Amino acid sequence: MMRVLRPGPGLWWRWRRNPLRRRSDAVEAWMLPVVGALALTIAVLGGLLASQGVRAAADGQRAQRHSTRAVVLADTPVGPASAGRADGDVPARVRWTAPDGAARTARISVPGGQRAGSTVRIWVDARGRPVPPPATPDEADFHATLLGGLAALVSGGTVLCFGALARQRLYRQRMRRWSEEWDRIAPEWSRGTL
C-alpha cells in the first residue's frame, strides 16, 4: 500500500491562528513568499532589460559601422597568430575613402602577407574613422544571454540578500523580546523551585 505524503502540521504553523504565534512569526511567514516572488520578478526583469540593452547596442553598432575597401600601402610580413592578434594580423598603413569623399590613411591591423596595392576590408564609422567590426548577430545573442543571465543572478540575489537581512533582524528582535520576557519571568520561577 502506497503512503500519501501530506504536509505536516509544522509546515503551515505560521499562517494558522495560534495564541502562541507572535506578530513577527506572521510577518516572516508572509515575507518569505513575497521576497521569493519579488526576487524572481526582479531577476527576470533585470535579465530581460540587460539582454535587450546588449542587443540594442549591437544593433546600433551594426547600423553605424560599415565595411569598406582599403588599399595596403606597403608589403606586410606574414605575422604569427600570437600577441592577441587573430589569424596572423599585422599592423600596416592603409588608405581608404571616407563617406565625405576625403582620402584617409591610418595604421591598422590587416591579414599578414599582403602586397602593396592589394585591397583589404576594414570597418569605419559614419565619419570614416577605422573601428573594430561590429558583433555578429550570433555574438550579440551570446553576449546578451550571458549578460542577461548575470544581471538576473545579481538582481535576484540582491533581493534575496535583503530578504535574508530582514529575516535576520526579525530573528534578533524575537530573541531580544524572549530574553526580556525571560528576565521578567525567571525570578518568579526561581522562587518557586527553591
Q: What is the pLDDT of residue 30?
A: 83
What is the C-alpha to C-alpha distance for residues 158 and 165, in angstroms, rounded to an integer? 11
Q: What are phi and psi of 30, to 5 degrees?
A: -85, -25
CA-based angle 104:82:94, to the nearest 5? 10
Q: How far apart are CA 58 and CA 157, in angstroms?
A: 27
Q: Decide: 20 and 35 in contact? Cβ < 8 Å.
A: no
| Tens-place pLDDT, residues 58-104 | 999 988 988 889 998 888 887 665 454 456 688 889 999 888 888 89
Neighbours of 92 (CB within 10 A): 23
Asked if residue 37 has pLDDT above 90, the reply is yes
Residue with cell string 544571454: 145
For the chain, give the longest Cα–Cα distance: 107
Average pLDDT over the chain, rounded to an integer: 84
Higher pLDDT, 57 or 84: 57
Delimit the domains of the chain by residue range. Answer: 24-59+139-193, 66-133
What gap in Å lies between CA 37 and CA 156, rounded to an integer?
10
- Residue 143: per-residue pLDDT: 94
**Closest alpha carbon to 90 in 74, 109, 106:** 109
Three-state DSSP class for 96? strand
Q: Give the angle subtended at the CA of 125 by the CAs of 122 and 131, to the nearest 5°.
A: 50
Question: Is the pLDDT confidence value at 157 over 90?
Answer: yes
Lowest mean pLDDT among 10-19, 44-53, 85-94: 10-19
> What is the arithmetic mean of pLDDT over 183-187?
85
**C-alpha–C-alpha distance, residues 90 and 82, integer Å:** 10
Higher-confidence residue of 166 and 30: namely: 166
117 or 142: which carries more pLDDT confidence?
Answer: 142
Place 24 in a pLDDT band, splitting at 50, 70 and 90: confident
Predicted local distance difference test score (pLDDT) of residue 6:
54
Report pLDDT for 102.
86
